[in-house]
Each structure stands twice: as structure tokens, then as C-alpha cells.
Amino acid sequence: DQAGELGKEWQLYDDEIDRQLDWRLSLASELNEALAAGDIWVAYQPKMAIASGQVTAAEALVRWQHPQRGAILPDAFIPALEASGRILDLTLFVLGRAVADAASWAAAGTPINVAVNVSALLATDVKFLTAVRAMVADGSIDPSLLTLEVTESATMADPQRAITALEQLAALGIGLSIDDYGTGQSTLTYLKRLPAKEIKIDKSFVLGLADNRSDQVMVRSTIELAHELGYKVVAEGVETQSILDVLTAAGCDYAQGWHIGRPIRASDFEMKFCARLAA
Ligand code: C2E
Ligand code: MG
Ligand code: MG
Ligand code: MG
């Protein structure tokens, strides 16, 4: 009968979801092994200063090349690492790579500011703050080359706590950026209480920017207000020249997206973008 058939389908569906959850959760237990084996690596995606056309910054995006499952993107494993308490270790690994690469590019005469994503859980974590402070103190981080990207929703659960934590990071000389702006419930006037210098407009407002009127209105008014409040503005998801044209006309400061460059290995980034900066 029909209800029975439907029940069976749901059962299959549930089982499939369970299987997917299972393998994702089991990733957390493979973290140490994967780090030791070099299966986890950091890709860099260029951020272009729109006025000069120069790539002066990059976002570090973590990648997991799994021996059985192939390339796994962060949205598939970050939640598992957060749930199992392993996100601090991953983030310190990414931070270590990012600051080492930034330092070597700066030493070669091509300073690139590198941005590392910090998940909501860590942004207010004392262990994270302590680890970062130690890396600054022992000279393994030049804070002027580093930006931390924190999502606006990360700061909303406990704003006062977030403000205090981010102020301590900012006091070290590290730049702070509000990621995925527009997807949360916050306003720029609320965000003004945080010591961030930059906001990143989420790609969901940028991807259709060439033809979607309401996205154009949102992006233009955000840029205008952000500038009045003293922020630099980055747009992510810049996939085409026409999107870049709209952003240029709107006075956006930085563009990030496939039209500028995809996330690539450090050595490729160096060849492609540092060489151009040096020329
Ligand atoms: P995010 O910080 O908002 O990063 C931007 C995402 O947009 C990246 O996806 C990037 O590859 C993608 N993207 C860039 N340009 C374009 C474009 O032109 N079109 C489209 N459609 N997409 C574009 P990715 O690398 O899959 O990262 C997803 C999210 O995972 C990031 O979102 C960030 O929240 C998180 N993440 C990445 N690396 C780390 C990390 O090291 N630590 C933590 N905690 N989170 C990370
Ligand atoms: Mg980001
Ligand atoms: Mg983002
Ligand atoms: Mg995002």
C-alpha cells in the first residue's frame, strides 16, 4: 500500500542521512593522522584591491585530500571538528601555515595580508586567544600580515563576550574582518561595537549582482553605510567581469572570487600573484 511504500522510502532516506552523518563525524577521529600525513593543506584565494587592480591579500581556505573519499570541502568537515572539540587544533594548523607563508612572501618583498577563518566557537575561546598571543609573542606571527575572519553570527550569541575577546585580538595588532555579512540578523551599527576594520559581503548577494536589482540595492547601500562607519568592504563570489563592474561603480574596496582567482596552493599563489606584485 501507498503509506507503506512511503514509510519505506523515508526509512531509506533516514539511513542514508545516518550514513552521511557517520562518515562526517568519523573525520574528527582522523584529524591527527591526516595532519601528519599532509592530507590537510591550505589553499589561498586572492583578494584584489579594486582601485589599483593589485592582489594585496589572500584568504586561507583549508582543504582535506582524503585517501578514500577524495577532496573534501570545509563545509563537510568543519562542523564535525567543532562538534568533537578538534577545531582548535585545525585552526592552529591553518594559522601556522598561513603566517609562515605570509612571512615568506613578505621577506621576498611581496607582502600579502593573509586572512584565516575562525569559527564561532573559537572566536571567544580563551585557549585560542592564549595560543594566538603566544605566537605573536614568540615572533611566529607578524600581526600586521594577519587578518582573522569571524562571521557576524559568531558574535551574536553573546555580544559582550565577543566584543571583549575580539578587542584582545585586535590589541595584538591583528586585523579583524566580519565574514558572510548580510546573512545574519545583525546591523552595521551593532557591528560597529566590534573592533573590525573590514566587512565581507556574503557571496549570496554578489553572485547575481549583474542582473538582480534588489541585490544591487543591498550591496550599494551596504558599501555606502560601511564607508560612513569607517569600514573597508570586500565582496566575495565575484565570478564575472560584469559583477566586478557593478562593484567598481559602487565603490567597493576589494574583490574576491573566481573571476580574480580560485583558491590554489601556496606555491601556485606565489608564482601567479606575488610575481605580478613584484613586477
Ligand atoms: P567563507 O569564509 O565565506 O569562504 C568563501 C567560500 O566561497 C570558499 O568556499 C570559497 O572557495 C568560495 N568562493 C570563492 N570565490 C567564489 C566564487 O566566485 N563563486 C563561488 N560560488 N564560490 C566562491 P570553501 O573554501 O568551500 O569554504 C567554505 C567555508 O568554510 C568558508 O566560507 C569558511 O566559513 C569555512 N572555512 C574555510 N577554511 C576554514 C578554516 O581554516 N577554518 C574554519 N574554521 N573555517 C574554514
Ligand atoms: Mg572567510
Ligand atoms: Mg564569507
Ligand atoms: Mg561563507
Distance CA 248, CA 89 (A): 39
258 C-beta closer than 6 A to ligand 1: yes
Distance CA 269, CA 18 (A): 38
The CA-based dihedral angle spanning residues 252, 256, 261, 264, taken in that order and rounded to the nearest 10 degrees: 150
Report which ligand 1 atom has the smallest distance to the Cα of 94: 41
Please determine, for residue 262, whether its predicted confidence score (pLDDT) is greater than 90.
yes
What is the model's pLDDT at position 245?
98
What is the model's pLDDT at position 21?
64
Structure confidence by residue, pLDDT tens digits, 29-58:
999 999 999 999 999 999 999 999 999 999
What is the model's pLDDT at position 157?
78
203 C-beta closer than 6 A to ligand 1: yes
What is the model's pLDDT at position 18?
65
Distance CA 16, CA 199 (A): 38
For strand 54-66 and strand 40-49, is the pairing parallel, antiparallel, or unpaired? antiparallel
Phi/psi for 146 (5° steps) reads: -120, 135
Higher pLDDT, 63 or 23: 63
Atom 43 (ligand 1): residue with closest C-alpha?
A: 117
82 C-beta closer than 6 A to ligand 1: no
**Mean pLDDT of the 73-87 span:** 92
- Record the pTM: 0.92
Band (pLDDT 50/70/90 cuts) for residue 6 is low
Q: What is the mean pLDDT of the chain?
A: 91
ipTM: 0.96
Atom 4 (ligand 1): residue with closest C-alpha?
A: 61
Higher pLDDT, 101 or 9: 101
Burial profile 125-148: b = 16 or more Cβ within 10 angstroms, e = fewer: beebbebbeebbeeeebebebbbb
Structure confidence by residue, pLDDT tens digits, 124-175:
899 999 999 999 999 888 999 999 999 887 777 788 888 999 999 999 999 9
152 C-beta closer than 6 A to ligand 1: no
What is the model's pLDDT at position 12?
64
Nearest to 182 by CA among 207, 211, 148: 207
Closest ligand by atom to 75 CA: 1
The CA-based dihedral angle spanning residues 183, 197, 256, 153, taken in that order and rounded to the nearest 10 degrees: -20
Atom 20 (ligand 1): residue with closest C-alpha?
A: 237
182 C-beta closer than 6 A to ligand 1: no
How many A from CA of 17 to the centre of ligand 2? Answer: 27
262 C-beta closer than 6 A to ligand 1: no
- Mutation to probe ligand 1, out of 24, 44, 117 (largest number of atoms < 8 A from CB): 117
Band (pLDDT 50/70/90 cuts) for residue 192 is confident
Please determine, for residue 200, whether its predicted confidence score (pLDDT) is greater than 90.
yes
DSSP 8-state assignment for residue 264: B
How remote is the C-alpha of 248 from its chain's centroid? 22
What is the model's pLDDT at position 267?
96
What is the model's pLDDT at position 8?
65
How many A from CA of 180 to the centre of ligand 3? Answer: 4
How many A from CA of 151 to the centre of ligand 4? Answer: 8
What is the model's pLDDT at position 197?
93
For cell 558599501, name the residue.
Answer: 223
